[in-house]
Chains A and B, each alone.
Chain A
Amino acid sequence: AQKVTQAQTEISVVEKEDVTLDCVYETRDTTYYLFWYKQPPSGELVFLIRRNSFDEQNEISGRYSWNFQKSTSSFNFTITASQVVDSAVYFCALVTGATNKLIFGTGTLLAVQP
């Protein structure tokens, strides 16, 4: 079965703090893609990153970084020096060749207080 678990329902931090959003996935497929999407209060879903299962290199993009570890089936997302504009719901997602469907986790609501 394919599954994405985001155990953190809500996180509240103060501006400039670092915050890590956890994502654990389940799949038996050896080929799959992992994603993070951001849903700000305005409601649209914004693609942030895609990772394939053969590339475990961590990635950094400005204040955002992602840590992919196949050994623990995790794909965690860290925001460094958080800002109020980072406040949103963040979704981790998975697609495999077996299902061909993008399966979303339940999301983590991040609130960054000024």
Chain B
Amino acid sequence: DAGVIQSPRHEVTEMGQEVTLRCKPISGHNSLFWYRQTMMRGLELLIYFNNNVPIDDSGMPEDRFSAKMPNASFSTLKIQPSEPRDSAVYFCASSFGAKSNTGELFFGEGSRLTVL
């Protein structure tokens, strides 16, 4: 079975450019999560969706970040404009369950973003 699929795996861009990260969750999963991992802050939850609806976006750093889930099989995380401090590994994860988060997440391989 295919796991969570993220693209691109690596992205190098210049400050000010728009970055779009993509995620395809595991088929049948109804919750999707975006995490960011940095050395300084560890793993941080940015936003999560349940049944395509954003449930909690309190972890989104600022207005430059936005996430969408137009259907059950696709989500995007967009950064516009990007800044060097956005450099991190961005993970998408999915799970199956009710609205509450029971934590058994299946993670993608991550998208490593470098903003110069």
Kindly identify which residue among B101, B102, B108 contacts A44, using a CB–CB cutoff of 8 Å. B108
Asked whether B62 is an interface residue with its Cβ less than 8 Å from the other chain, the reply is: no
Size band of the interface chain A makes with B: 20 to 34
Instruction: Please determine whether B101 and A102 come into contact, CB atoms closer than 8 angstroms.
Output: yes
- Interchain nearest-CB distance for A112 vs B (Å): 22
A42, CB-defined interface residue at 8 Å = yes
Set of chain A residues within 8 Å of B93, measured between Cβ atoms: 45
CA distance A102 to B59 in the complex (A): 12
The answer on a CB contact under 8 Å between A47 and B110 is: no
In the complex, the answer to whether B104 meets A50 with C-beta atoms within 8 Å is: yes
Q: What residues of chain A lie closer than 8 Å to B103, measured between beta carbons? A: 33, 35, 50, 93, 95, 102
Q: Which residues of A contact B109 (CB under 8 A)?
A: 42-44
A91 to B107, CA, bound (A): 13
Residues of B within 8 A of A100 (CB): 55-56, 100-101
Contact A43 B104 (CB under 8 A): no
Contacts of A107 in B (CB 8 A): 42
A44-B107 in contact (CB<8A): yes
Give the B interface residue count (CB, 8 A): 23
Q: How far is the CA of A81 from the CA of B59 in the complex (A)?
A: 39
B43 within 8 A of A: yes
Closest B residue by C-beta to A100: B101
Asked if A64 is at the interface of the complex by the 8 Å CB criterion, the answer is no
Contacts A43-B89, A91-B43, A107-B42: A101 and B101 contacting too (C-beta < 8 A)?
Answer: yes
Q: Is B49 an interface residue (CB 8 A)?
A: no
CA distance A44 to B111 in the complex (A): 10
Does residue B96 face the partner (Cβ distance < 8 Å to A)? no
Cβ of B34: which chain A residues have Cβ within 8 Å of it? none
B108 contacts across to A, CB distance below 8 A? 44
Q: How far is the CA of A43 from the CA of B43 in the complex (A)?
A: 13
Q: Which of A47, A93, A102, A103 has the most CB of B within 10 A?
A: A102
Closest Cβ–Cβ distance, residue B42 to chain A (whole Å): 5
Nearest residue (CB) in B for A44 is B109
**Which residues does chain B contribute within 8 Å of A35, judged by CB atoms?**
103-104
